[in-house]
Structure 1
Amino acid sequence: MYTLITSATSSNAYRLKNELNQPDVILGDYLELPAIMLNSNDMIRLPKPSSIAYAHEMLTLCLDKGISKVYALRDEEFESLAEAATLFVEFGIVIVRG
């Protein structure tokens, strides 16, 4: 299973990735990422937290990518995911404020 860290365009995401020191960590962001970064399996584009269906889009992404833990670094991401925490727990996915 994988761990997802949001806000891949921030230094905090890389710091957390280094602190976790785990092999199966994916970085993701909804902000524009260079195409070369998206070509690796370690970085993905995320849905925008302003979307009404954000939590469901994130749940689908987590299930598709085998993600069992999400570190949401931006407040807007965490708040949207926290509102749907029960849904994520039903699928064995943990949401953590980063």
Structure 2
Amino acid sequence: MSILITSANSAAAYQLKSKLFTGDIILGDYEALPDLMIKSGKMLRLPDPKSASYSHQMLTLCLDKVIDEVYALRDEEASLLREAEQLFFEYGIKIIYGN
């Protein structure tokens, strides 16, 4: 199972990562991330929630990266993903809000 935790620039993302007992966790953020971490594959650049097609971009990213669960830590991300939760569910992707 692959898990994506948003808000990689926050301490909350790292705290959550340490609480989860699985090895396949990816951190991602739409805010600036170190290029070294992105190139190494340890972090993902996520779509900006201000984009009109944010939910579809996130779904595409999850399908491309074979992500089964998304922990949406930022309110703006969570709000948009809540609206598309059924769509993600149809593809077997669980959205978890907050930490």
TM-score range, shorter chain: over 0.9
**Where does 1:52-63 land on structure 2 (aligned, <5 Å)?**
52-63=52-63
**Where does 1:87-98 land on structure 2 (aligned, <5 Å)?**
87-98=87-98
* Structure 1 spans left out of the alignment, 5+ residues: none
Which moves more between the two structures, 86-95 or 37-46? 37-46
Which 4+ stretches in 1 moved above 6 angstroms? none
**Where does 1:41-80 land on structure 2 (aligned, <5 Å)?**
41-80=41-80
Q: Output the amino acid matched with 2:84.
A: A
Normalising by structure 1, what TM-score?
Answer: 0.97
| Structural RMSD (CA) | 0.7
Normalising by structure 2, what TM-score?
Answer: 0.96
Residue 10 of structure 2 aligns with which residue?
10
Distance, in Å, in 2 between the alignment partners of 1:80 and 1:42 is 25
* Structure 2 spans left out of the alignment, 5+ residues: none
Which moves more between the two structures, 39-48 or 85-94? 39-48
